[in-house]
Amino acid sequence: MTGRETLAMDPDTVAQALTVDTVAQALTVDTVAQALTDHGYLPDEGLATAVFLALTLRRPLLLEGEAGVGKTELAKVLAAWTGGELIRLQCYEGIDAAQAVYDWDYARQLLHLRAAEATGETAGKSTDAIEADLYQERFLVKRAVLRAIEPRTGPPPVLLIDEVDRADDEFEAYLLEVLSDFQVTVPELGVFRTEEPPIVILTSNRTRDVHDALKRRCLYHWVEHPGFEREVAIVRLRVPEVSEALARQVAAAVEAMRDLSLYKPPGVAETIDWAAALGRLGVAQLDEQSVARTLGTVLKYREDHQRVEHHGIADLVKQAFDRGLLHG
């Protein structure tokens, strides 16, 4: 099967390919790369390979990398491509099962109880029976993890567990359990499980190390800043109104900034923002003044501004021109 044939698949066909054992034949690294590209994401070969393996081996994929290198976006694009629902779980310090898996809708349970009392429905019922009445599935608030393992027709969802490094150890241990079995027990109702596991993407900015046990469940890929030509292509794709020459200069200037040992080196997101800002200001090519005016779109720390100014903005512009032309 050629890449084009796979790309021509409508979402239902892709979903079918992902839910039957012909997966390995239907997908190749190249077709995965092409499909992501067609959905606006330009992966390098390493990332395309990691995605291919995650899809065909049905393993969660843990993406680590600096801020703004395209970790979260990959999950969004995967959902757009496969037609699966994107279910996002944004992790934060203190997140627990009630926010990630399920909770009971106390307000509705209470209203139900009041209504039952008012109509005399509870009269003569045992406490157990009244309680059982309150723990029905319709009062269950299904959060991301439970929604991701609900039986469904159609393509498997994409479960994005974003910034897992922000969650606490206990929560990570809990995730480990879910990712091993794709099943959740709600004591009052029973076990929820799926035969068709979701596509799982975990991301981490590495503010702390994710535990080995969780890593063992996942395939791992470190997302690098894109190479120069890829970054130019991403800017061209995302900010089509800027000229190729300006896109090249911006990508080159950002590349040079990443070598300045900044506190927060710019990611692709900043490159895109910078190009868009320059475009909006009608700048046709980089010069010292336009860089100085727009530095806040690409560097978000005062110390980093000072470092770039100390390095010399004129130098940076010259470097960007040389680099941009060199590959022109």
Element housing 186 (H / E): strand 183-186
205 binds, among ligand ATP, Mg ion, none (CB under 5 to 8 A by kind): ligand ATP
Could you tell me if 6 and 31 are in contact, meaning their C-beta atoms sit under 8 angstroms apart?
yes
The span from the CA of 164 to the CA of 175, in Å, is 10
Quote the tokens at residue 160: 């994005």
Contact criterion met (CB below 8 Å) for 230 and 76: no
| List 6, 34, 72, 319, residue binding Mg ion (CB under 5 A) | 72
Q: Closest Cα partner for 246 from 210, 214, 290?
A: 290
Sole binder of ligand ATP in the list 52, 59, 64, 68 (CB under 6 A): 68
Its sign, for the CA torsion 98, 103, 105, 110, is negative
Site for ligand ATP in 146-175 (CB under 6 A): none
Residues 251-270 that bind ligand ATP (CB under 6 A): 268-269
In this structure, are strands 102-104 and 183-186 parallel, antiparallel, or unpaired? Answer: unpaired
* Partner in contact with 73, chosen from ligand ATP, Mg ion, none, beta carbon below 5 to 8 Å by kind: ligand ATP
Closest to ligand ATP by CB, 125 or 208: 208
Q: Name residues contacting ligand ATP, limited to 209-228 (CB under 6 A).
A: 226
Which residue in 26, 32, 41, 145 binds ligand ATP (CB under 6 A)? 41
Nearer to Mg ion, 79 or 253 (CB): 79
Tokens of 46: 């390493």
**Measured distance CA(286)–CA(253) in Å, rounded:** 9
Q: C-beta of 78: minimal distance to ligand ATP in Å?
A: 12
Q: Applying CB under 5 A, which residues contact Mg ion?
A: 72
Q: Applying CB under 6 A, which residues contact ligand ATP?
A: 41-43, 65, 67-73, 203, 205, 226, 234, 268-269, 272
